[in-house]
Chain A
Amino acid sequence: MTHYLMSVIHDWDNMGLTEAEMQESFRLTDAFNTEIKESGHWVFAGGLTHPSNSTVVDGRKGEAIVTDGPYAEVKEQLGGFWVIEASDLDEALELSRRASAACMHPVEVRPFEGMA
């Protein structure tokens, strides 16, 4: 089994979803979460607040340098994520397809090197 991160890619300022679609995506995502908890693929998942709520901390030189985030000034930012367990990439891709359909956003899937 390998752990994969499934990142939900959001264009936060232009979600492209109506209020009704948004509500539907929450409902579908809840249902998907229940399914993958039952099938044993679930490790952890969460949705994030707007990237303007983020703060960048650089502690490499001892004292922390704190700046307003996000770190990368790009349109697409992380919207939320799942950590899943899958037997191989094909299984992870199938879970990603279902995740993307449920949350109504593209999903990027990436293997972990290791997990504590």
Chain B
Amino acid sequence: MPDSQLDPAGAGATIPDQISEEIAGIVRAEHGRVVATLIRRLGDIDLAEDAVADALIVALERWPADGIPPNPGAWLTTTAGNKAIDRIRREAKRDAKYAEAAMITDDTPPRDDGPVDDDRLRLIFTCCHPALAVENRVALTLRLIGGLTVGEIARAFLVPETTMAQRITRSKQKIKNAKIPYRVPRAEDLPSRLGGVLAVLYLIFNESYLATEGEGIRADLSTEAVRLTRQLGSLIDDPEVVGLLALMLLTEARRPARVSDGALVTLDEQDRSLWDAGLIDEGHRLVRTCLATNRPGPYQVQAAINAVHTDALDASMTDWSQVVQLYDQLLALQPSPIVELNRAVAVAELDGPEVALSIVERLDLSAYHAWHVTRAELLRRLRRYDESRDAYDQALALIDNEAERAHLTRRRRSLPG
């Protein structure tokens, strides 16, 4: 039996290693709903997590023999609810005050009808509350909504398990002590708060995307991010959620072509036959949905840019004028020097490297490796090889990703003279 004393981070479910893929899949798919419903009923995140962990143990004992129940989410919710009552009774004998404090605000009367999607949406907004540090929002979302164990999250973010456990514990304490509410924000706060949720999901996705050595749990994070974004899309109707999902799918579609022999392959050199046609189709369909809705936002525009790229059979067929137009739109929505840098790359294809370089030189991004890479490539095309070589060196000095280092080293070496 997991014990909250021995397991202060609520790592609870350390069993997934031993269970079949099918049960593990169900547990991840249902964890968010079940724990969210339990949190509303019990008003305590730790107790809810412990109860869900207890229920998972019962499931592991019974399901392999009895078969998986027709509605595993409802089964887990009921069983976890009973386990919570057991725990409260046990604890009550030791400490009568245990069950006293209702620590999370809940506007609705308790219901008993199994998992409720509203609960999951509430929990997402609690986990992604702006009062929590962004790395803590990421950890909490993966733990509570995604059902990943603390160990899995720690490995995915390359931090020691104790560090991750502490992050999660502190966040849960802050939710309790500062009374971070458990509810969907008011309509007037919703756009900005939803933006915070999307940022967390995108961060989770990017963490995997950047892991080019890409195996195991780090690569799985992108699957997790896509799954969580799909869940959010089923709970809330907003074109930016659709845009983010499309952006993720169109990025993920290119993953098989991104690395070759341990070196990064840039978009123009990728073997496009390796791209995942199914993901691209779905991504394009979602982008069209966004266009029809016509309430553009930064994620939708980025998805549209990716749709233009993935529409071209090879790099030379890219509609660069459309890419530049979309970057103009993105800049208007979300002005940033990094967007200007990406726009300059498209401008180079449309108006030539000289025009692009003059844009790049104006940007104050010398601490950002991609700025040096862009300069290096533009200077190369202008046959200013010595300056190009210097720019590659400056980029290499700022890089800690091996696949990208291999790519840049090769590019630098291929400079004439």
Report A's interface with B, CB cutoff 8 A: 2, 87-90, 92-93, 110-111, 113
Contact = CB atoms under 8 A, between A and B. Distances in A.
B298 interface: no
A93 B131 contact: yes
A113 B177 contact: yes
Given A2-B179, A87-B105, A90-B189, 14 more contacts: A88-B105, A88-B179, A88-B180, A89-B129, A89-B131, A89-B178, A89-B180, A89-B181, A90-B180, A90-B181, A90-B185, A92-B178, A92-B179, A111-B179
Contacts of A89: 129, 131, 178-181
Most chain-B Cβ atoms within 10 A of its Cβ — which of A2, A87, A88, A89? A89
Interface in B25-63: none
Contacts of A87: 105, 179
B177 to A, nearest CB: 5
Residue among B105, B129, B178, B189 facing the most chain A CB atoms (10 A cut-off): B178
Contacts of B131: 89, 93
Nearest 5 A/B pairs, CB to CB: A88-B181, A88-B179, A111-B178, A88-B105, A89-B180
Nearest to A86: B179
Contacts, number: 26
Nearest to A4: B178
For chain A, what secondary structure do more than half of its interface residues adopt (helix, strand, loop), or is it mixed?
mixed
Contacts of A2: 178-179
Nearest to A113: B177
B177 A111 contact: yes
Interface in B178-195: 178-181, 185, 189
Interface size classification for chain B: 10 to 19
A88 B178 CA distance: 7
A93 B178 CA distance: 11
A23 B189 CA distance: 31
Contacts of A90: 180-181, 185, 189
Nearest to B130: A93
Contacts of A113: 177
Contacts of A111: 177-179
A10 B385 CA distance: 52
A113 B129 CA distance: 21
Contacts of B179: 2, 87-89, 92, 111
Contacts of A92: 178-179
Interface in B144-179: 177-179
A89 B104 CA distance: 11
B315 to A, nearest CB: 47
Contacts of A110: 178
A90 B189 CA distance: 10
Interface string B98-138: 00000001000000000000000000000001010000000
Nearest to A90: B181
A2 B178 CA distance: 8
Nearest to A111: B178
A44 to B, nearest CB: 19
A96 to B, nearest CB: 10
Interface in B312-332: none
23 contacts: A2-B178, A2-B179, A87-B105, A87-B179, A88-B179, A88-B180, A88-B181, A89-B129, A89-B131, A89-B178, A89-B179, A89-B180, A89-B181, A90-B180, A90-B181, A90-B185, A92-B178, A92-B179, A93-B131, A110-B178, A111-B178, A111-B179, A113-B177
